[in-house]
Amino acid sequence: MEEALTHLGDQPLRELLTSPPIRGLWHEVMADHHIFEIIARPVVNGMDPEHYVLVINEVTHERETRTHIEQQERLAAVGQLAAGIAHDFNNILAVIVLYAQMDLQIPDLPTRARDHLRTIAREAQQASNLVQQILDFGRRAVLEPRPMNLVPFLKERIQLLRRTLPETIIIEFNKSSDEIIVRADPTRMQQMITNLAVNARDAMPNGGTLSITLDQIRIEHHHIVPVPDMSPGHWIRITVSDAGGGIPPEIEAHLFEPFYTTKEPGKGTGLGLAQVYGIVKQHEGHIRVQTAKGHGTTFTIYLPALQAPSAQDQPAASASLPEGHSEMILIVEDNAAVRRALASTLDVLNYRTLEATNGHEALALLEHRAAEVDLILSDMVMPDMGGQALFYALQARGTKIPMVTMTGHPMTRELHTLRVEGLAGWILKPPRIEQVAHTLDQALREAKSGTRVELRSSAGEAPAPK
């Protein structure tokens, strides 16, 4: 028995046999999460058409690719703006952090004043964490990548989440093997999982199941990739699923935009998922969201698999701050407040200082006083001449003074190149007094001994370019 065709997908057939609302366009039909464009043409044998020819074109992949590209372009523009703002905030925070930590070194400081300074330093660190989230989103954060087995890492994180999330949330963990290795920054991975777990918690105010799955996949061909622009090869897949109410389409479109939040004022910054997006992208990975009303949300993260990890020894931490022996440090920094804070910090650490506002001024000063300078501490981003240009100018002149740079941006390729060519060290902005003390001490020791160890700062290793 034949049945009459009344619908195609979610559209009545009679509507498809008419002209689209706008001339030149096709009817759009949804069916089982697929998108089709349909247009009908009558076959006329008399006054009225008796038959129609339907042209059906599936455009699901095309639409997903176009949406993906538009989202990438929009987020890239927002990320560039956010990173620029974060750079200025880092300079402000550098002054606050350095002065607070420097004054905490004063002996016999009154208890009340010490408590106030600790509060200032703690809140400044919170502000620095927000800046870090912005830099993560804009892919401007400095990474410390290393081979890591995600299985014990996730087990440890899940144990912590079980103690911190409400008891009404049950956490399930599934893995395909005991050794699943990526090259990643453990701190950033920790932040990514925490943000996703907090997002799942907020989606399940009455409790539910948070499921985390870790496995490996191999993609053979371009036409079967789960995310546009994803290349064939070996990938690590992390899925984080909640049993919440799902994400409405109008919110899903803005999910990874910074400062976009549906929470009440004071309940969230709107940076959590934006930071997740930036961390994934900076690790050359991909992220996919699947959600349906009443059926929860699943975030799937794909990271390049690492087949042959190599062990990396970590330097032992020193319990006390190393001090100088009256060495002369040339500070090159365009921000006057940061420059003064650095000079005061180096004075506390028993160094002498000279100051320059940019690379050109530093070169002019060195024309007459190079013999006095034991080390150059330079910002990377400055008007007229930045730290990278200054480094190459010194190389061209044959100047052998060791140089340490300060940066709030990753500049991965630039730092790796400078490292190979003789850069003595680098410091992450906003700098902590511990960073400054250890990095300068190591650079000066290497310069005096004529040896050079693997370049590190207390912020971590400058990663090699991909």
Q: Are residues 339 and 424 in the same domain?
A: yes
- Based on the structure, what is the number of domains in the chain? 4
Do 120 and 107 touch, CB atoms closer than 8 A?
no
Whether 336 and 441 map to the same domain: the answer is yes
Q: Burial-class residue 330 by CB neighbours within 10 Å (0-12, 13-18, 19+).
A: buried
Do 396 and 251 belong to one domain?
A: no
In a domain, 311, yes or no: no
466 found inside a domain:
no
| Model confidence, pTM | 0.50
Q: Give domain status of residue 1, yes or no.
A: no
Q: How far apart are CA 139 and CA 281, in angstroms?
A: 7
Task: Mark which of 304, 336, 368 sits at the end of a domain.
Answer: 304
- 104 and 12 within one domain: no
Q: Which residues contact 215 (CB under 8 A, 6 or more apart)?
A: 174, 175, 176, 177, 180, 236, 237
Q: Are residues 255 and 167 in the same domain?
A: yes
- Compute, in degrees rounded to 10, the torsion defined by CA atoms 45, 48, 51, 56: 120
Within-domain flag for 444: yes
CA distance 379 to 364: 17
Other Cβ atoms less than 10 A from the Cβ of 61: the count is 12
Q: How far apart are CA 403 and CA 412, in angstroms?
A: 17
Q: Does 192 share its domain with 274?
A: yes
Long-range contacts of 403-406 (CB under 8 A, 24+ apart): 403/375, 403/376, 403/377, 403/378, 404/375, 404/376, 404/377, 404/378, 404/439, 404/440, 404/443, 405/378, 405/379, 405/380, 406/333, 406/377, 406/378, 406/379, 406/380, 406/431
Helix or strand holding residue 159 (H, E)? helix 150-164
Positive or negative torsion for Cα 175, 181, 187, 191: negative
Same domain as 423, residue 408: yes
Instruction: Identify whether 321 is part of a domain.
Output: no
28 touches 8 (CB < 8 A): no
Q: The CATH number of the domain where 347 resides is what?
A: 3.40.50.2300
Co-location of 54 and 67 in the same domain: no
- Alpha-carbon separation of residue 391 from 131, 367, 456 (angstroms): 27, 15, 18
CATH code, domain with 119: 1.10.287
Strands (E), 220-271: 233-241
Among 208, 185, 365, 350, residue whose Cα is nearest residue 283: 185
**Residue with tokens 């949300």, as numbered in its chain:** 297
Q: Same domain for 54 and 83?
A: no
Last residue of a domain, one of 112, 137, 162: 137
Write out the residue range of the structural domain in which residue 239 sits. 146-220+227-304
Question: Does 71 share its domain with 47?
Answer: no
Query: Is 122 a domain residue?
Result: yes
Asked if the structure places residue 198 within a domain, the reply is yes
What is the reported pLDDT for 170? 93
Nearest-angstrom CA–CA distance, 91 and 126: 15
Do 69 and 207 sit in the same domain of this protein? no
Asked, for residue 313, whether it belongs to a domain, the answer is no
Q: How much is the pLDDT for 456?
A: 42
By residue count, the chain amounts to 466
Tokens of 223: 């036409």
Strands 208-219 and 169-175: parallel
Per-residue pLDDT of the chain (466 residues; tens, 9 = 90+): 456 666 666 677 666 666 665 555 777 777 766 777 877 777 666 666 667 677 778 777 777 767 666 666 666 666 666 666 666 777 788 888 888 888 888 888 888 888 888 888 888 877 776 666 666 655 555 567 788 899 999 998 898 889 889 989 999 999 998 889 998 888 888 889 988 998 899 889 888 999 999 999 988 876 677 777 788 889 999 999 999 888 887 777 777 776 666 665 555 555 778 888 888 888 889 998 888 888 899 999 999 998 644 444 444 444 478 889 999 999 999 988 889 989 999 998 999 999 999 999 999 999 999 999 999 999 988 888 988 899 999 989 988 899 999 887 655 566 667 778 888 888 877 788 888 999 999 999 988 887 554 444 444 444 333 3
What lies within 8 Å, CB to CB, of 138 at 6+ separation is: 78, 79, 80, 82, 83, 86, 278
Q: What is the pLDDT of residue 84?
A: 64
Which residues are 43's β-sheet partners? Answer: 51
Q: Which of 71, 106, 137 is the last residue of a domain?
A: 137
CATH no. for residue 238?
3.30.565.10
* 155 and 284 both lie in a single domain: yes
